[in-house]
């Protein structure tokens, strides 16, 4: 929905090179690795009728994927390996360092505006008080 909504806004204001309307999607670690819609969406990022000039993907990585440990949920080390499909940069940042998370967001925003490509921020943390 975010891709479609951002593109509709961009088309309505006839915006090129897509720098006024920016999409931000917040994923869970299991969702970014396991939902096909993530792959399908980033795979279409450069198609003329589908491009949004890049989306900023924020991955809230609690390293458990609802109830599954990473080694049981995917074949890759990082949940954000899907970003390699389009060569999107990925920042892995510690959730316990909010000033670094903020800095990564600034860099991601600047990157997206300069290159009009998707970018991922993998915020790695843990569930301090258990499941849910």
pTM of the model: 0.85
Tens of pLDDT, residues 14-38: 767 777 888 999 988 878 877 777 8
Tens of pLDDT, residues 41-83: 888 888 888 888 889 999 998 776 656 666 666 667 788 888 8
Could you write out the three-class secondary structure of 86-105? HCCCEEEEECCCHHHHHHHH
Q: Are strands 55-61 and 23-28 parallel, antiparallel or unpaired?
A: parallel
Q: Are strands 119-124 and 23-28 parallel, antiparallel or unpaired?
A: unpaired
| Spans of all domains in the chain | 27-124
- At residue 132, does pLDDT exceed 60? no
Helix or strand holding residue 5 (H, E): helix 2-12
Q: How far apart are CA 53 and CA 112, in angstroms?
A: 7
Q: Average pLDDT of 91-112? A: 95
């Amino acid at each position: 929905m975010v891709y479609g909504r951002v593109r509709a806004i961009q088309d309505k204001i006839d915006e090129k090179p897509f720098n006024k309307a920016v999409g931000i999607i917040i994923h869970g670690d299991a969702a970014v690795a396991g939902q096909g819609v993530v792959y399908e969406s980033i795979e279409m990022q450069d198609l003329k009728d589908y491009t949004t000039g890049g989306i900023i993907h924020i991955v809230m990585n609690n390293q458990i994927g609802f109830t599954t440990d990473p080694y049981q949920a995917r074949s890759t080390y990082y949940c954000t390996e899907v970003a390699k499909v389009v060569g999107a940069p990925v920042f892995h940042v510690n959730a316990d360092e909010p000033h670094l998370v903020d800095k990564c967001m600034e860099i991601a925003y600047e990157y997206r505006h300069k290159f009009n490509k998707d970018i991922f921020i993998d915020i790695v943390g843990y569930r301090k008080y258990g499941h849910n």
